[in-house]
C-alpha cells in the first residue's frame, strides 16, 4: 500500500504521499486538491517520505537542498513537461507563465495552458510552482495560498539572492 506522512513546516502542516517508492504528492493541509486520493494511502513512514522530510528540513532552514527525492510526475504528457520545466527554475529565481511557454516552444495561448498545468502540480515546493509569477512580476494564484507563496519566495531570496 502507498504511504503518507505529515510534516510540520513554519507555514503549516504538510501532507507527503509516496507511491511505488516515488514521491507522488506534497500538499499544505487545507490546500485545494482531491482529498479522496488520501483514502488509498496508509499513514506510515518509508525511505522516500524520510528523504522528502529531510529535503524540507534543509529547505526551511534557508538552504537550497542539493538533492531531489525520486519523483512521480503524473498527469497528461503536457503537464509532465511543464512540471519538468518548473524543476529547472533555479532556487531564488522566478519565471513567468510566458517564460515557461517559450521554453516549451509553444504558441500564443500557451501561457494560459501553462497556468492550468502549474495549478495542478501535485508536489508543491519540491516542484517549485511557487516560483512562477505573473507577466508583470506579481504574485499570482498558489494552491497553498498567496501568503505561503510569498513566504517561500522570501525564504529563497534571503539565500539565493535577488529574484529575477
Catalytic residues, by residue number, are 129
Cα–Cα dist 23/71, whole Å: 5
In this structure, what are the phi and psi dihedrals at residue 133, rounded to the nearest 5 degrees?
-125, 170
CA–centroid distance for 111 within its chain: 18
Task: Read off the C-alpha cell for 21.
Answer: 517508492
What is the separation of C-alpha 99 from the centre of its chain, rounded to a whole number of angstroms?
Answer: 18
Distances (CA, A) of 134 to 27, 79, 80, 131, 138: 22, 19, 21, 10, 5
Residue 32 burial (CB count, 10 A): 11
Helices (H) and strands (E) in the chain, counts: 5, 6
**Bridge partners of 3?**
18, 42
Amino acid at each position: 500500500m502507498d504511504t503518507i506522512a505529515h510534516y510540520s513546516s513554519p507555514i503549516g502542516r504538510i501532507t507527503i504521499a509516496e507511491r511505488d517508492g516515488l514521491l507522488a504528492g506534497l500538499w499544505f493541509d487545507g490546500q485545494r486538491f482531491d482529498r479522496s486520493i488520501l483514502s488509498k494511502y496508509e499513514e506510515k513512514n518509508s525511505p522516500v517520505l524520510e528523504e522528502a522530510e529531510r529535503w524540507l528540513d534543509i529547505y526551511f532552514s534557508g538552504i537550497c537542498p542539493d538533492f531531489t527525492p525520486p519523483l512521480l510526475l503524473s498527469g497528461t504528457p503536457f503537464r509532465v513537461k511543464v512540471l519538468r520545466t518548473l524543476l529547472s527554475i533555479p532556487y531564488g529565481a522566478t519565471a513567468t507563465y510566458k517564460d515557461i511557454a517559450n521554453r516549451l516552444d509553444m504558441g500564443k495561448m500557451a501561457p494560459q495552458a501553462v497556468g492550468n498545468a502549474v495549478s495542478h502540480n501535485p508536489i508543491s515546493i519540491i516542484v517549485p510552482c511557487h516560483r512562477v509569477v505573473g507577466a508583470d512580476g506579481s504574485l499570482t494564484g498558489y494552491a497553498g495560498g498567496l501568503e505561503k507563496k510569498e513566504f517561500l519566495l522570501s525564504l529563497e531570496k534571503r539565500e539565493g539572492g535577488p529574484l529575477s
